[in-house]
Amino acid sequence: MPDDAKQPILLPPKQEFTRLIIREAHELVHHDGIRETLNCVRRKYWVLRGRESVKGMVRRCVTCKRKAKNQRRLLDQFINRWRTEYLLSLRETSRVLHGTEKETIAVGDIVVLKNDSTPRMFWKLARVKELIKSQDGVIRAAKICVVNSGKGRVIELRRPIQHLIPLELKLSPDTENDVSPAVESAPKEEESTRQRPRRSAANTADVDENFLKAMADMGVDGQDPDFNQGVFPMMQGMMMNLLSKDVLYPALDELRTKYPAWLDEKKSTLPSDVHENYSKQYKLVCEICSEYDKENEKDTEEIKKKRFDKLMGLMQKMQRYGQPPQELVGSGVQGQGAFGENFGPDKCPVM
């Protein structure tokens, strides 16, 4: 250790000479940081409260400020590349080394039919009817049932397994047989002579009947065996998925939060009967949200089924009071509200 370091010159902290000494040392170490600058100063001088003085000098250094901006940008670039490149390559490497259990498609699964010529939002839903194995015993294709958008008829197609994207929906034998083959002997109306299959639950029976009526208006025969065995259970599963908490709860919870203040604000301007309808609709929104709040991962299928039936009944009651106020539901899709322009009992017979 040199003598100057053993017996350094004491310097007061807040003096112009001390600032110049620190600045010179900072430039000698090429703006390398607080610790390096302080070590360079202490080779000859000992600044009282030296670390604090060096920090202030580095904070005011224009060169260090410019370098800090570039360093932040480089750090952000590294983080982004680490997420987009390294993590993805790590996943691919893990697949190669350890292999992965691919999600298999079984008979009765609901799948999305991949079509490169159309946008993803227009891909059709289908039900797997039969799996086709090749000579080596590997499943490479499948027969699927899909609804023809033009005629509304169920058609059977054969597609490679790579074009089928499985969803978290599966028709078990219990679900397929849940629709009773017996038809209730109800009085027939003059304009319709079709008999509709009914389910045991009252609310679900109304939903099924309305759904079949909508399909009949589209030209789909409700008594077609392919329809009853394929599309009808598939659409029922879709309805349960569309009424899930992840889909509806955020919008309904926001509506529940905004509704009271809106009712108080419009109480003096709205007719009494209209205000009363909106108040009843608000109570139903609260009941629906409370049902969603009761959901638990440990719920059995029976509990989920009962909750679904109750939600369907509440949604039907809610529709009787019309569409929620436009100020609360927002714009949603262009030209429609968040619940759609056709949100009403005469426009949405399924609900």
Superfamily of domain 231-320: Pex19, mPTS binding domain (1.20.120.900)
What is the domain partition of the chain in residue ranges? Answer: 3-60, 109-166, 231-320
- Tell me the whole-structure pTM to 2 decimals: 0.34
Task: Supply the pLDDT for residue 160.
Answer: 92
Q: If we measure between CA atoms, which residue out of 9, 23, 8, 30 comes closest to residue 54?
A: 23
**pLDDT (mean) for 197-223:** 51
Higher-pLDDT residue of 157 and 185 is: 157
DSSP annotation of 170 = E
Report the alpha-carbon distance of residue 236 to residue 32 in Å, rounded. 67
Higher-pLDDT residue of 259 and 248 is: 259
- Give the E-state strand segments of the chain in sequence order: 9-11, 45-47, 109-113, 124-133, 139-147, 154-160, 164-170
Residue 313, pLDDT > 90, answer no
**pLDDT (mean) for 255-275:** 86
Single-letter code of the amino acid located at 224: D
Task: Supply the pLDDT for residue 195.
Answer: 44
Instruction: Using the Cα atoms of residue 325, residue 331, residue 334 and residue 339 in order, give the sign of their dihedral.
Output: negative
248-281 burial by CB neighbour count: b if 16+ within 10 A, else e? bbebbbebbebbeebbeeeeeeeeeeeeeebeeb
pLDDT band, residue 282 (cuts 50/70/90): confident
**pLDDT (mean) for 199-209:** 49
Q: If we measure between CA atoms, which residue out of 50, 44, 48, 62 comes closest to residue 7?
A: 44
Report the alpha-carbon distance of residue 65 to residue 70 in Å, rounded. 9
Higher-pLDDT residue of 335 and 288 is: 288
Tokens 């570039």 sit on residue: 70
pLDDT band, residue 217 (cuts 50/70/90): low
Q: What are the pLDDT digits (tens) for 220-231?
A: 555 555 555 555
Tokens 């997420």 sit on residue: 83
H or E element in which residue 206 lies: helix 202-217
Task: Supply the pLDDT for residue 232.
Answer: 55
Query: Which of 20-24, 167-171, 313-317, 319-323 is predicted least confidently?
Result: 167-171
Q: If we measure between CA atoms, which residue out of 249, 266, 268 comes closest to residue 257?
A: 249
pLDDT band, residue 345 (cuts 50/70/90): very low
Task: Supply the pLDDT for residue 84.
Answer: 81
Tokens 């005469």 sit on residue: 346
Give helix then strand counts, H and E, for the chain: 14, 7
Q: Which residues does residue 157 pair with via DSSP β-bridges, in sequence order? A: 144
Task: Supply the pLDDT for residue 131.
Answer: 92
Helix, strand, coil percentages (3-state) for the chain, rounded to 5, are: 50, 15, 35
Task: Supply the pLDDT for residue 265.
Answer: 86
Q: What are the pLDDT digits (tens) for 84-130?
A: 887 777 777 766 665 555 567 888 888 998 888 888 888 888 999 99
Q: Provide CB contacts within 8 A for 291, sequence distance 6+.
A: 307, 310, 311, 314
